[in-house]
Structure 1
Amino acid sequence: MPLNAVDVQLRPEPVSADPIHTPARATVERSQLTAFTRALEASTGQRFASHAALHDFSVREFPTFWQSVLRQSGLLVGGSADPVCTGESCEAATFFPNLSLNYAENLLALAGSGDAERPAITACRAGGERTRLTRGALRENVMALAGALTRLGLAPGDRVVAVTRNDAKAVTAALAVAATGAVLATAAPELGAETIIARFAPLAPRLLIAHLEAAPHDTGAPLAARVAAIAAALPSLELVVALDDGRPDAAMVVPLHRMEALARRGRSRQPALPHFAFNHPLFIMFSSGTTGRPKCIVHGAGGTLLEHVKEHRLHCDLRPGDKLFFHTSCAWMMWHWQLSALASGVEIVLYDGPIDTAATLWRIVAEERVTVFGTSPPYLRLCETAGYVPNAELDFGALRAALSTGSILYDQQFRWLRDCVKPMPVQSVSGGTDIIGCFLLGNPNLPVHAGECQSRSLGLDVQAAPAGDAEGSVGELICANPFPSRPLGLFDDPDGKRFHAAYFAARPGVWTHGDLVEFTPSGGARLHGRCDGVLNVRGIRVGPAEIYRILQGIPDIREALAVEQHAGQAEGERMVLLVALRPGAALDAALAARIRRDLAQHGSAAHVPDAIIQLDALPVTHSGKLSEAAAADAVSGRPLRNAAALRNPSCLDALRRHPALRPASAPLLAGQGVGQDLDLYLQALWQALLGYAPIDLDDDFFELGGHSLLAARMLAEIRRTTGRELPLATLLHAPTIRLLAAAIRDHAPAAASRLIELRGGDPSRPFFFVHSMAGSVLQMWALARALTCERMVYGIQARGLNAGEEPHGRVEDMAGEYLALIRAVQPRGPYALGGFSFGGLVAFEIAQRLRRMGETVSFLALLDTKVDKRFLPIGEWLRLQRTRALHHVAALRGLSAARRLAYLAERCAPRLGVRAGAAERDRSHAELPPALQRIRSGVIAATARYRPRRYPGKITFFRAMTGERVGFDPVSIWRKVARGGVAVHVIPGDHDSMIARPNAEVLAAALTRCLKDA
């Protein structure tokens, strides 16, 4: 494995055993989920002893489950509910092909004579103005406008686009369009005209609905002018409907009608609403577009409605009498999600205006007696960092639950809501525009654990691939079964190729969502960010979500983005942390030092950024989400892939010019010698390497985020300025400036031994540990410090680290030399041996030789050691080839013809003997010193040549919980060769992160127990 390759991001979060909220027994008894479960038990004859059992049934027998949801929902439908679903895969399935309905009719249905007078909408505007509509008034307005639009020629399937504020008129217009069978796509006024045109133009719409009046919080060009520009850019447009009395811009050339006038003309005739097929298109949603042209995602009426009804009633327990306020805009799918709550008799509260202070939304919650409030982590973070305590001034007696989505809701924000608002269930929900619903969300019957989504969405087989349902393992969120709210496809994608490439190419027939998720012992889930946001710096993979979680503990940081800088072949990759700070804070040495210390101590060395840059604002999309893609383009000097997708692209101008992004071309301390004070020189060197100050003389190199690559650069600089040649292992015993200075002052020649004492203990019963591909044992520092065994622990380093040595290229040669080193320390057995990754092969060969010499090997530990795939048992080899073939076929499906050829050429080159230059062949190791590169090449050659032979003893195998996406089971071959059997211990993390904190503590505890018994 690569030097210091620490995949720290795919690591489980510690889970608190104590929930932050537990529902009362009475709450569980009266929840709609309980009523649904009992009805399902009665109809199926089954008993569901837990929610896990209910969810298992809902995905295993999903046709029965969805038929029950439909039957108990009371939705107004026509036709037959049989069959429930045709097709077995998620990609090919179709739900309720013989059913018909009208989405708007179901949202406007009146349950009884008094239902018409119940409230439906309260629309709030900045400044305090309120508009209130009853269910009866909303129904009348929608029916009148729908009739008028039909008479104007709007037909089922026509595309309608809307640029609307979040108010009652926008809701009326949206439902009127749905009532006619036309298809609606929405945008918010804060989006720029170019961004909106990029989304709307491919749809060839017939009708544009828009607000025209200016608002005090508007920015940019006047709204009427932007609407005119949009209309001019849509040649298919036949009509504009203005929702207010705003004056149209002089450039408006399309005929314009006023909604109020149209509705007046339509009130006289209100025919019954027609039904359309269950899978008739309803909404077109747009992806963010930060990595290219936005996808136009088509959602069906029936699937959208049924999924929303299930989520609202069963997961959120929304019912008549509830008031739902979800802070959103018409450009976000949560606007459509809250709209559907009308079908459950819920009153929805809307807000159009800015967030002037931390109190803005909480005042609406209190004044309107909101029962369920939906918000986002950035708003909660704003409230927390502002020191705002809402319950100190506002009454939340009506509020019973809070929802949050849009990004990860961290543990601290759960606790802030409990302490500063009120104790209540907090639902972190996750899904997205792609499915217009949720994969993970709340549950009224289950406890709430800080940092977790409570449960998977019923009926959806949500897993963490490749880990499946394994607890404590992070994987990519997938849905393995069909579900009704899967989009119908992408607009203007007749053969479905783009739809397949977007969601099914990675795993045929299985929805792949792109989020990283971890399922916890409580049955909940933790989110770890996006798969495509994972950083890969010098072979180290780091998930930004874990960095953001740690930074939550630093009050001065308002927002942060961690991105990868590609600085060219010579410089390799760097991690850059961008921060926006609270008012009055500054990125001084003390704050930078705290950021690095916290990331190193609560994460690992790989979490520590190479550069920290303060910006006034970070790039966000028009839906308010931070854009890692845009920031990554800026720090790497690339043109933005889609500047129009950003709300504030100008914030990147200062970033591109920032001096911290310039590559270092001179020595770290050019022109500076050691001078009179070695301590001060080393302090300056460490501060230059680690990128912040001050560093104390007794600070620990590894605790500060140092790693083996930084160590190699540091010792090379020390050699250049002092002439002292120090081995890498020096830092294991001299990890502070004070101790390192003492080692340099000791003029005795530095020991060049390949046998390094990693930990003191009983020298008569040592444990010998062989290096990995890194060559040095420096990467084992976390494990060495965590071990608590009584034995002396030695690390064996590779030949080639010291000047004048040539690395070995065969496992047998390494074993012969290392065995001599071992016997010089311990002449007789029993012996205890181990090795990480490649080191396990060498330890295994040493054990073979000791056995042949008549010696006893009491303990042989292999830490996730693999063999070359050529030596796998035939069954495992065939399984691997099949898995790899399916992987490549899936990858090729989503590529153009030209890219397919490039993909095949790249993967066939090694088999054909084609070799690119060193930098092209392995750019992730371009920064390795030449000696380490030579050792690595020797290890690769040795691995390819070595076939393990029969071994008469026992092997103890420590396996990483998270395997490779396209890999094989290494235990199979060890079971075949070890006659004494193989004992397997599963360690959290993947191959690299299992030896990094905090997983190293788990590994060390397991090793300590085994060594005690050996």
Structure 2
Amino acid sequence: MHLIYEVTVFTQEKLKNGLAKLISEETKIITLEDVYDFSISQNHTTSTPTVIKLKSENLAYIVYTSGSTGKPKGVLIEHRSVVNQILWLMSSGYLGEDKTIIHKTPIGFDAAQWEMLSISSGTKLVVSNFGVDKNVFDLINKIVSNKVTLLQCVPTLLQALVNKQQFSECTSLTHILCGAESLTKKLVQQCLDILTNCMLVNLYGPAECTCNASFYEVTQANLHVGENVGVPIGIPVDNTKFYILDDSGLPVSDGNIGEICVSGVQIARGYLNQGDLTSEHFIEYPIGDNFEPIRVYRTGDLAYLGSEGVYHFAGRSDTQVKIKGMRVELEEIKVVLESLDVVESAAVLVNEGRYGRKSLAVCIQINPNKNIFQEKINRDELVSFFKQKLSELIPDYMVPSVFVFVDSMPHTVNGKIDMRKIKTLIDERNVEELIAPRNSTEEAILEIWESALGIEAISVTDDFFNLGGDSLSAVDMILSINARFNTKLPLHIIFTAPKIEKIAGIIDRGLTEKSSRLVCLQPSGTKPPIFCWPGLGGYPINLKVLAEKMTSERPFYGIQAFGINEDEIPYSSLEEMVSADIAEIRKIQKEGPYYFLGYSFGCNLAFEAAFQLEEMGEKVKQIVLLAPGMLKGLPTTNLSDEYDNKELITLLFTVFSRNVDDPDLHECLETSCDETSFVKFVCQKYSISNPELVKRISKVVIESRRISRERNRETQKSITTPTYIFSALNDEFSVFEKNIDCFRGGREIIKLNVAHFDFLMEPGVNNLVSLIAKHVPSL
């Protein structure tokens, strides 16, 4: 209302007084009785009203958007747009003299307009009682008793209908038109199984495009078109055209995702009294046949044109978020969840609660008719079930970390899921899960965690890695705890005790864990373990995601470089380094066959370990080398190990940033002139409280760099162990790829379209693991 300069409300006399209490004194109220009295006073005795001649571009109505993507906006729809919509509905066979539609949508929503105006086509209009869509039994009775042929509803309401046995009595329905939310193939199948002679139509269209801009008629024959679990949004309605454009306003190639921009007679005039917003969303682009400008509405929705010639919805540009550096589409997670039989409805949003960092949260309503749980299970078991199911269908970085379960999903007045209420439920869950320190030990560890992670409001039951902890912050945190309590907790304790309460319990009970440079990243399995060497820097926690993705039949150990722990001095030769590693490995597995992996610089160590064990007469079953080449773009001409060498600074900084294109590299090069200044810069950037840790890691890198140069000059060593090399995108060729004579037992090179650092992160690690399973089946 604040966007309207002068408002007049048209109502009935009996509602006038109550309405006056709700609106400002400046707002005019006119009743039907006022109009009648005025007509009498003007001596209008004829019953024939004066007809004003309308033009197609005259305004038909103003409808306000729901505000789900921002503040509500008054959308100006012209008569020609409404007429085109009705004519399309008639030509498609949805409206006509032999059709009956039920009007149930509140008048404030755009879908209500074509429901009411359907009478212009000769369609019989059944006006339902207000709120009939909130009571599915009343709605079913209305459909059956009036022999309704066409029902328009959101998927949420359709799901509620198919869950009722009485829905099978709605045999008069020939068409169900669904819109406003994503429609899953699971829901369509459920409906078609009940009403075998009914056609489902998936509708897409923002209010700015006059109700429905595209449609897809779903049948048993075309239900499974495309790989998505969601139903396509189809093709544009008559006199409407879609353009899929990139961020520059240029058309993308078929199959590529871009923004849906709609042109044609149905797009709105603009927004009421919001010229700037109208100019932002209603734009002329030179995308015509001869590059002539075409006026389009930028929807903010994403889609692509499939090979079958229909458009597929790909979410909203403003619901794409970055979680742990990866782009996530919230709608995709929702659709996948709702494709599960056990889920009746789901809502996904970004949780920015007490962690202060973005994470994914989901609210789930279990389908009571498809409850697969034979016995009542607790919430933790439910969470584990859904995390497992989702991990089978989507990448791990898309699996929500916060779960809320409800008996009934909250809805807005137009039947959509009420995301504001969902957010409130999530926020309440965040508060419930916060458990404060219960003793001085937990309180001290909490302070260390807050410093290491850079966040507040941590619960003593929170998992370190779920809070965004990484390899560097984990090492810093454990060393800080050891300094605070004068303990010698090994670095791998973060895997056995990833919560504050567990670490505090170990310290308070005076328990000790045997120190080892072999970190068990995945303990399950009865077959011989996998031993993996990390890259430059030598800390194996970076291998965590890879370890969790590999087979559960073999334990997975990451081998930490000698020199990371206090009082350790890095070895000066590759042979010494590996000999010490083999001694650690034999504490866990006394004899072969051994299974080795190496990543980046760790490939040198894995190869050397296989060589030394073969010299001892031991059996190494297989060796897998991951990204053995040098990153393209890293300079390698200056061999100096002094901190005035910009090439060395670049390499050291890349080890900590894990990104060769990090924008802070330039500042690091400008400010780092010696070890002290470099260590200070890294500690400030990554909130590391222990500068000695940065110094030790840097020394390991410098020594490893020197050893790597010597290894690249070395060609005389060879092994009989079968070797598999997985090369990273754009990496320089390593000595292992150049010299086939190193591998008397055979060598296979598999090239990946995955960058060097992405080998160990989602989603690149998924591609890597699937190829390892394909080419190295014994792993």
TM-score by length of 1: 0.49
Amino acid at match of 1:492: N
Shift of 1:784: 0.9
> SS where residue 432 of structure 2 aligns?
helix
Pairing partner for 1:240 from 30, 33, 36: 30
Partner of 1:776: 542
Query: For residues 252 and 629 of structure 2, what CA distance do their matches in structure 1 show?
Result: 20
Partner of 1:753: 518
**Deviation digits for residues 46-76 of structure 1, max 9, x if unmatched?**
xxxxxxxxxxxxxxxxxxxxxxxxxxxxxxx
> SS where residue 330 of structure 1 aligns?
coil
Residues 1012, 382 of structure 1: CA spacing in aligned structure 2 closer, same or farther, 3 A cutoff? closer
Partner of 1:603: 390
Q: Is it true that 1:390 corresponds to 2:156 in the alignment? A: no
Partner of 1:442: 216
> SS where residue 113 of structure 2 aligns?
helix
> SS where residue 208 of structure 1 aligns?
strand
Pairing partner for 1:405 from 158, 166, 179: 179
> SS where residue 1004 of structure 1 aligns?
helix
Residues 208, 381 of structure 1: CA spacing in aligned structure 2 closer, same or farther, 3 A cutoff? same
Partner of 2:115: 338
Amino acid at match of 2:106: S
> SS where residue 379 of structure 2 aligns?
helix
Partner of 2:18: 225
Amino acid at match of 1:367: S
Matches within 5 A, 1:285-434: 285-289=63-67, 293-306=71-84, 309-310=87-88, 313-314=91-92, 318-325=95-102, 327-339=104-116, 341=118, 346-355=123-132, 357-383=135-161, 388-391=164-167, 394=169, 396-422=170-196, 424-434=198-208
Residues 447, 669 of structure 1: CA spacing in aligned structure 2 closer, same or farther, 3 A cutoff? farther
Matches within 5 A, 1:19-418: 197-198=1-2, 202-205=3-6, 207-210=8-11, 225-226=18-19, 229-230=22-23, 232-234=25-27, 240-242=30-32, 256=35, 267-268=47-48, 273-277=53-57, 280-289=58-67, 293-306=71-84, 309-310=87-88, 313-314=91-92, 318-325=95-102, 327-339=104-116, 341=118, 346-355=123-132, 357-383=135-161, 388-391=164-167, 394=169, 396-418=170-192
**Deviation digits for residues 331-360 of structure 1, max 9, x if unmatched?**
111112435655655444432412363212
Partner of 2:299: 513
Query: For residues 544 and 190 of structure 2, what CA distance do their matches in structure 1 show?
Result: 41
Shift of 1:1010: 3.3
Amino acid at match of 2:55: H
Shift of 1:910: 6.2
Matches within 5 A, 1:873-912: none
Gaps of 5+ in 2: 288-292, 444-458, 500-504, 587-593, 610-621, 637-662, 673-678, 716-722, 740-747
Residues 207, 765 of structure 1: CA spacing in aligned structure 2 closer, same or farther, 3 A cutoff? closer
Pairing partner for 1:487 from 268, 272, 279: 268
Query: For residues 843 and 522 of structure 1, what CA distance do their matches in structure 2 show?
Result: 46
Asked which structure has the greater RCO (Cα within 8 Å, sep 6+), the reply is 1
Partner of 2:648: none
Amino acid at match of 1:390: Q
**Deviation digits for residues 663-686 of structure 1, max 9, x if unmatched?**
745579969xxxxxxxxxxxxxxx
Query: For residues 411 and 291 of structure 1, what CA distance do their matches in structure 2 show?
Result: 26
Query: For residues 573 and 89 of structure 2, what CA distance do their matches in structure 1 show?
Result: 61
- Does structure 1 conserve the Cα–Cα contact (< 8 Å) formed by 2:631 and 2:730? no
Amino acid at match of 1:783: K
Partner of 1:625: 416
Query: For residues 62 and 80 of structure 2, what CA distance do their matches in structure 1 show?
Result: 14
- Does structure 2 conserve the Cα–Cα contact (< 8 Å) formed by 1:427 and 1:441? yes
Query: For residues 298 and 630 of structure 2, what CA distance do their matches in structure 1 show?
Result: 30
TM-score by length of 2: 0.60
Pairing partner for 2:351 from 564, 571, 574: 564
**Deviation digits for residues 509-567 of structure 1, max 9, x if unmatched?**
98653446677777667657545445666667665542575378587987656451333
Amino acid at match of 2:173: L
- Does structure 2 conserve the Cα–Cα contact (< 8 Å) formed by 1:464 and 1:519? no
Greater Cα offset, 972-981 or 531-540? 972-981
- Percent sequence identity over matched residues? 13
- Does structure 2 conserve the Cα–Cα contact (< 8 Å) formed by 1:212 and 1:227? no
Greater Cα offset, 358-367 or 719-728? 719-728
> SS where residue 60 of structure 2 aligns?
strand
Pairing partner for 2:235 from 443, 446, 457: 457
Residues 729, 317 of structure 1: CA spacing in aligned structure 2 closer, same or farther, 3 A cutoff? farther
Shift of 1:601: 0.7
> SS where residue 689 of structure 1 aligns?
coil
- Does structure 1 conserve the Cα–Cα contact (< 8 Å) formed by 2:363 and 2:404? yes
Q: Is it true that 1:592 corresponds to 2:379 in the alignment? A: yes
Query: For residues 354 and 694 of structure 2, what CA distance do their matches in structure 1 show?
Result: 24
Amino acid at match of 1:749: K
Query: For residues 264 and 692 of structure 2, what CA distance do their matches in structure 1 show?
Result: 51
Aligned residue-pair number: 655
> SS where residue 489 of structure 2 aligns?
coil
Residues 870, 478 of structure 1: CA spacing in aligned structure 2 closer, same or farther, 3 A cutoff? farther
- Does structure 2 conserve the Cα–Cα contact (< 8 Å) formed by 1:285 and 1:333? yes
Amino acid at match of 1:443: E
Query: For residues 783 and 912 of structure 1, what CA distance do their matches in structure 2 show?
Result: 36
Residues 559, 469 of structure 1: CA spacing in aligned structure 2 closer, same or farther, 3 A cutoff? same
- Does structure 2 conserve the Cα–Cα contact (< 8 Å) formed by 1:834 and 1:843? yes
- Does structure 2 conserve the Cα–Cα contact (< 8 Å) formed by 1:707 and 1:779? no
Matches within 5 A, 1:535-934: 544-545=330-331, 546=333, 549-550=336-337, 562-567=349-354, 572=357, 590-604=377-391, 621-628=412-419, 632=423, 655=428, 659-660=431-432, 664=436, 689=461, 725=489, 727-728=491-492, 731=495, 749-753=514-518, 770=535, 775-785=541-551, 795-796=558-559, 802=565, 835=599, 842=601, 861-862=626-627
Residues 860, 599 of structure 1: CA spacing in aligned structure 2 closer, same or farther, 3 A cutoff? same
Query: For residues 210 and 334 of structure 1, what CA distance do their matches in structure 2 show?
Result: 22
Shift of 1:389: 1.0
**Deviation digits for residues 712-755 of structure 1, max 9, x if unmatched?**
699999999997835448859999xxxxx99x999772422369
Shift of 1:596: 0.8
RMSD, matched Cα: 6.9
> SS where residue 769 of structure 2 aligns?
helix
Amino acid at match of 1:425: M
- Does structure 2 conserve the Cα–Cα contact (< 8 Å) formed by 1:452 and 1:524? no
- Does structure 2 conserve the Cα–Cα contact (< 8 Å) formed by 1:282 and 1:300? yes
Shift of 1:595: 3.1
